[in-house]
Chain A
Amino acid sequence: MLTLKVNGKTHKVDASKETPLLWVLRDQLGFTGVKYGCGIGECGTCTVLIDGKAERSCTITADSVQGQEIVTIEGLPADHPVKQAWISEQVPQCGYCQPGMILQAVDVLTSQPGASKGDMAQAMDDVICRCGTHPRVLSAMELAAGKMKGSGGAS
């Protein structure tokens, strides 16, 4: 039995120690907003926040994050400036990469509050989007950054 804290709630799951967090979240706990894209840490679509840091859930075991705060896309509040900016900039196309994009953006904007657009592009450089939402990801991040600064940072 593993004990995981996801989106503020504690869950007990019956999973082997080596099961990647991704599959425990998706198949056992039903957080299907966490996506599978590559399974090797290359694409970023499985990203979740672990104690506020963006991590790729396909390459970490569920066991290793027991006791830590895990936030999936479902757990990021609807009024979070990043989610709001994503809607006002109309970012998603197919949307499959977007949970990962959003959560990594939350980490970037929280940890680098003064980031320039170029810094943001560098910080998001390792997330794959086949649809080509890149320009809008960056404009939404700029918009969210402004709001997060105004509210003294949020996450």
Chain B
Amino acid sequence: MKKQITRRGFLKGAGLVLAMTATPAGVQLLNVSQSLAADQDFRPHAFIEIAPDDTFTVWVGQTELGQGTHTGIAMILADEVGADWDRVQVKMAPAGKAFLDPLYKMQFTGGSTSIRHRWDLFRQVGAAAREMLIQAAAQKWGVKPSECRAENGKVTGKGGKSLSFGQLAAKAATLPVPNKPRPKPARDYTIIGTKRDRLDIPGKVAGSTVFGYDFKLPGMLLATLARPPAYGAKPKSFNADAAKAVKGVVAVIPLGDKVAVCATDTWAAMAGREALDIKWSPGTLPELDNANLDKWYQDYLAKPGVVAHKTGDAPAALGKAAKKLKAAYKFPYLAHATLEPMNCTALVEKDRCRIWAPTQGQTPAQMAGAKVTKLPMDKIEVMTLYAGGGFGRRVEFDVVVEAVLLSKITKRPVKVVWAREDDFKNDFYRPGAACSVEGGLDAKGNLVSWVHKIATPSIMSRLMPQAVKKGVDHTSVEGVDNMDYVLPNRLVEFMMVKLPIPVGFWRSVGNSFNPFVVECFLDELAAAAGKDPLEFRLNLLKKGSRARDTLEFLAQKANWGSPVPAGRGRGLAVRSCFGSSAGHVAEVSVDPKSGTVKVHKLVCVIDCGIAVFPDAVKTQMQGGAIMALSAAFKERVEFAGGGVQTANYDDYPLLSMAEVPEIEVHIAKSRHKVGGVGELPIPTVAPAVANAIFDACGVRLRELPFDTGKLKKG
């Protein structure tokens, strides 16, 4: 069994397998073809495997969440080696040290880092394989390597000599790994930056892709858990017999403040849970509801905060300003609402623990497994499955703990499945926030002061307390403390909201709300200064800065300054984050009778450095814009009775097909390094729309989701 799982798909012998291994000195590239052939007890995490039949396999440690990263990574490696794209396949590797993020030393998929942090690494692995294949051919032919080329899955030499990678793999496997492999210059790319079909799409269209929810082991139990309806609530009583009376229910297991129902099939586990008829104690904060939450946020906002950023003397400059503006903003808690609910399968044995999960956080899952089983980390094997969306939710390991615990108790493989209601009620939400900002203009309309307050809970306090420095969680204030604009006087204060509502990473994190305040307030200031929003921003951005280049590119693509069609308004916003820069121009109209806003068109631009896989960049920009519009117009988690009231999609509607506007995406030709993509479409959609709404009807909406009722005239 062990062999089957760890070596799944490795072709023994005869092939070239290049692996990375982590050493104290860093990551080291290894030729492990020999050890595999000798079947030694060695578990490499191969990046590239070239088989005698010319199959070119790329092993990845990053999770495919829908963003296309599996194909993108394969494109980089295939291009660097000179592979024939038609022979390339990608496989998800078991979690391992080789796949740790080179910067963060953890294996996870998030923060738009999959390619951004590994660009050099991938290219070096590819270049090493290429040089080894060339060397093998050169030795066979008795020529110099410099006379040979690797392309389209072959090495060719003078006089029509040609051998396929598969034919060379055995020989290449006996060669040492070059010390300093030399990646190709960009002008030689033939796969990077081109249109390719995604490698995961055929299975997804056929219906054969195995997502976490679909995974099965022989003898596996299906488990659901009844969870507290309010924060801090505990089960006072439950009817285990009634649950066990449901056909298929095998066991009812109290698990702290939860009660698990294990069954032979999913429906029985769900029906058994219903039958438990649990009585809960009231939670620790029964007064938590929408109205109180709003009030508590306002109280926090009124308190003095911790300084998160200070340039010049903003309060003094504000005092001297010729014109002053003030505005307040509110943001709701948001759910990730991934279409595949949380789930995890685990099998705990005496000396090892295996976890199969659609996880974005392999290292956190391993750590959770180790903690529950008390086994060492290297005895925790994590197999990553396809995930039905992630958006940050799946870096958490709550469901992993549940599955490992239940397998440990039942001594059987257990798959914990969450119902949609579990998912909405037990999320690590995008934190709600209340913000206020004051700005001052001098007599010429120059922006001379910016005083900004942010009241929001801290994500890092729970996940990585050491990242909270001097009381400031950077993820809470990002977008304001590091805004793209250069201002002479700027003060940013942070009030850390403390509530039992758990908060976590949600696509673009703090950048999902802070840039809304910045971009909308800038628009207000521009209007007060009598300046065009584009011109006003350009004056605040350094020449040659990425944000400025992006803004200019955006203005050009959206034809900013051209007449807006009658009855419509136009708005823009820009933001650099996650190693890239993006912006949006929205065109909207507002129906004065109903207040209904129609978004007619969204122009999106992104500068992500080299766009490795342009079609995936495009779909991320499109899909992300839809998610951001959905959040702007519709999404809000509701609270009542000390817990979450939102239960299912009928309480939390998403933007629907007929509401999706025309979305145009432009990718900048960039001189910058490879940057992130997945987070970039989010930050600037809502402010661009809000600014367009103001342009159309003169009303500022400063709360999300938009209350379009405020736009009604008369």
Write the residues of chain A forming the contact surface with B, with a CB cutoff of 8 angstroms.
16, 19-20, 23, 26-28, 31-40, 42-43, 45, 72-74, 78, 83, 86-87, 90-99, 102, 118, 121-122, 124-138
Contacts and interface: CB of A to CB of B under 8 A. Distances in A.
B386 interface: yes
Contact of A83 (B197, B205, B270, B623): B205
Nearest to A93: B66
Q: Top 7 closest A-B pairs, CB basis? A: A33-B207, A96-B388, A132-B623, A94-B66, A95-B204, A73-B207, A132-B626
B339 A90 contact: no
A135 B340 contact: no
A132 B649 CA distance: 16
A35 B212 CA distance: 11
B589 interface: no
Interface in B383-407: 386-391
Contacts of B483: none
A90 B66 CA distance: 12
Interface stretch (B170-178, B293-301, B654-662, B697-705): B654-662
B419 to A, nearest CB: 6
A121 B558 CA distance: 25
Contact of A96 (B267, B270, B389, B627): B389
A86 B391 CA distance: 23
A26 B211 CA distance: 13
Nearest to A37: B339
A58 to B, nearest CB: 10
Contacts of A42: 648-650
B266 A134 contact: no
Contacts of B203: 95
B89 interface: no
Most chain B beta-carbon neighbours within 10 Å: one of A42, A43, A132: A132
Nearest to A75: B207
B663 A129 contact: no
A100 to B, nearest CB: 9
B312 to A, nearest CB: 41
A90 B390 CA distance: 20
A122 B658 contact: yes
A112 to B, nearest CB: 15
B316 interface: no
Interface string B607-629: 00000000100010011111100
B203 to A, nearest CB: 8
A130 B391 CA distance: 10
Contact of B387 (A40, A94, A122): A94
Contacts of B214: 26, 32
17 contacts: A20-B267, A34-B207, A37-B420, A90-B615, A94-B65, A94-B338, A94-B340, A94-B388, A95-B200, A96-B339, A98-B204, A98-B205, A126-B656, A130-B389, A135-B622, A136-B619, A137-B657
B201 interface: yes
B196 to A, nearest CB: 9
